[in-house]
Amino acid sequence: MRKIYKNAKQSLILFLYLRVNVENSYILVTGANGGIGQATIKELQKSPLILVGRDESSLKNLRDTLDDPKKHKIIQADLSSHEGIQSFITILKNARCKVKAFVHIAGICYLAGAKNFEYKSMLEMMNVNLFSALEVIRTLSRKPFSEYFENTVLLSSISSQRGVKSEALYASSKNALEAIVRGFAIELAPKVRINAVAPGMIFDTKMTGHLYSQEQKNFIESEYPLGTGKPEDIADAIAYLLSPKSKWITGQTLIVDGGNSIKGQ
């Protein structure tokens, strides 16, 4: 009887230990300061979060708007260079946080044609959009992070699905993310799921808000059966892919674009 009681007690302790570890695991979110980033942070705030962005004061202000600011951490990082990415990875390792999920929202939209793009600007965009995500996934897939790591959502774009003048370079970075999703989903299964969300046009972000005139915005909106979206629409999709409700989904790109991609010419 004592042996049974002892085993039951050990099982309860193990259960409580695992539960505490799960509850104390963080969701790492890059691009936290942007429109989609802020909406995602607010949607996910019931879980402990690590907010990553370029502007530390903006990160602190964002954290202060959350229901329980003290349970979230911030990391100031510039992901536009190799040195900046490696510095961020070092900080992440030294923080010794248990990261259960990674959401990569950080991005640069570099518009340039085939005849006039600049290598330096293109490399900066690829560092932010692609290479930084690869480095984080590699880090989280290794010990000691791998014990807790179980999910990744990368932010793509519907521009990866079509040819648009001056957007080829930007689209190539998003296409690469989707290729990573498909390949890594096989490599990391069954422990880790990885998916992407491909938004249509979202005007309420720092990246896109200044790119178009009001006339252009009106025309673009007319091309969307459901109108253009809000950052919250993308945050909801990200939250779904992080939740147990999507437990049988991996290696996929979820298009969230108000029906734009299904329209005929």
Looking at residue 13, its pLDDT comes to 42
CA 18 from centroid of its chain's CA atoms: 26
Residues of the chain whose pLDDT is less than 70? 1-23, 163, 166, 204-212, 264-265
Looking at residue 63, its pLDDT comes to 98
Q: Domain 26-262: what homologous superfamily?
A: NAD(P)-binding Rossmann-like Domain (3.40.50.720)
Looking at residue 212, its pLDDT comes to 65
Looking at residue 15, its pLDDT comes to 41
Closest CA to 38 of 24, 58, 56, 57: 58
- Whole-model pTM: value is 0.88
Q: Is the peptide bond before 190 cis (omega within 30 degrees of 0)?
A: yes
Looking at residue 3, its pLDDT comes to 47
Looking at residue 143, its pLDDT comes to 96
Residues 235 and 40 sit within 8 Å (Cβ to Cβ): yes
What residues does each domain of the chain span?
26-262
The answer for 66, left when phi > 0, alpha when psi is -120 to 50, beta otherwise, is beta
Looking at residue 207, its pLDDT comes to 57
Looking at residue 16, its pLDDT comes to 40
